[in-house]
């Protein structure tokens, strides 16, 4: 099973920047998108109907052109839902949960905490409520989580760690949550195969950052420990343009 995750920073924008060529060149079973910034009603018909795939949209309810997630899938899940049990966290369209026979798949666009102290609190609360939800479902079957976590975990995961110690996305409290997540038995699949620096998934549009590979690794595939032996490969595709993020992939033997 081939699963991809990509923060496209606007679905309407990325479809004009080679998205469909990339999609058709990959043998994708499930594609999880974040930051779609679109309601299906805003899209042309050609971008809402893909041969061989169903598409599930979870746009932001609080305002148009913001946040949002979507899943393209050719393997039919048993069940699809959106959001966390805490309804007040769900207005931004940040989560899609797909239940398959042998695992749950979360597609999540975790909040960014840079805007204000209140948004950082919102992000940390979202993190904690997500972990509770994942752990509750994990009692039934294993978990796969993909998406934009908006936090680089270790120094190796961003180009300039010391210069960003006081910036949301690399704050100690955010990194500590990723430690806690991993301590609960979740595996960073990319690091199963690659322990090298210089592997990033997001680059600011400013300062020629992408051409200099001055990036952050904030997009992940995690699996619960029970699925570790099922992971055949995990990778990043930094050569794929169209967004300030690049796609990340996972191959599971399921």
* DSSP code per residue over 121-171: HHHHHHHHHHHHHHHHHHTTS-EEEEEE-S---SGGGBS-TGGGTTSTTS-
88 is in an annotated binding site: no
Beta sheet of 2-7, edge-to-edge order: 54-58, 69-73, 30-34, 2-7, 248-252, 231-236
Architecture of domain 2-252: 4-Layer Sandwich (3.60)
106 Cβ neighbours under 8 A, 6+ residues apart: 95, 96, 97, 130, 134, 143, 144, 145, 146, 147
User: What is this structure's pTM?
Assistant: 0.97
Give me the mean pLDDT over the 175-200 stretch. Answer: 98
Give the C-alpha separation, 177 to 5, whole Å: 21
CB 69 within 8 A of CB 96: yes
Domain boundaries along the sequence of the chain:
2-252
Question: Which tens digit of pLDDT belongs to each residue from 9-55?
Answer: 999 999 999 999 999 999 999 999 999 999 989 998 888 889 999 99
Give the C-alpha separation, 231 to 220, whole Å: 14
245 is in an annotated binding site: yes
Question: Which tens digit of pLDDT belongs to each residue from 145-156?
Answer: 999 999 999 999
> What does the pLDDT read at residue 47?
87
87 is in an annotated binding site: no
184 is in an annotated binding site: no
Residues annotated as catalytic (active site), given as ranges = 109, 148, 245
Q: Bridge-partner residues for 55, per DSSP?
A: 72
CA distance to 38, 112, 154, per residue, from 60 (Å): 8, 15, 30
φ and ψ at 191, to 5 degrees? -75, -5
pLDDT-derived band of residue 59, with 50, 70 and 90 as boundaries? very high
244 is in an annotated binding site: yes
């Amino acid at each position: 099973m081939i699963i991809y995750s990509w923060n496209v920073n606007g679905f309407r924008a990325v479809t004009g920047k080679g998205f469909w060529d990339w999609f058709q060149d990959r043998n994708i079973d499930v594609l999880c998108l974040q930051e779609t910034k679109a309601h299906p009603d805003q899209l042309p018909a050609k971008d809402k109907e893909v041969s061989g795939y169903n598409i599930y949209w979870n746009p932001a309810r609080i305002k148009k052109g913001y946040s949002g997630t979507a899943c393209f899938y050719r393997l039919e899940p048993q069940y699809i839902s959106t959001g966390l049990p805490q309804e007040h966290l769900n207005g931004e369209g940040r989560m899609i949960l797909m239940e398959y026979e042998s695992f749950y798949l979360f597609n999540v666009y975790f909040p960014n905490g840079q805007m204000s102290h209140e948004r950082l609190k919102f992000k940390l609360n979202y993190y904690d409520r997500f972990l509770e939800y994942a752990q509750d479902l994990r009692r039934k079957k294993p978990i796969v989580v993909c998406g934009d976590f908006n936090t680089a975990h270790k120094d190796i995961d961003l180009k300039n760690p010391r210069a960003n110690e006081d910036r949301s996305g690399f704050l100690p409290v955010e990194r500590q949550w990723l430690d806690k997540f991993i301590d609960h038995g979740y595996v960073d699949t990319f690091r199963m195969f690659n322990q090298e620096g210089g592997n990033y998934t997001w680059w600011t549009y400013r300062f020629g950052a992408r051409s200099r590979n001055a990036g952050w690794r904030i997009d992940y595939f995690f699996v619960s420990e029970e699925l570790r032996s099922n992971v055949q490969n995990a990778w990043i595709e930094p050569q794929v343009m169209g967004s300030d993020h690049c796609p990340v992939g996972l191959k599971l033997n399921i």
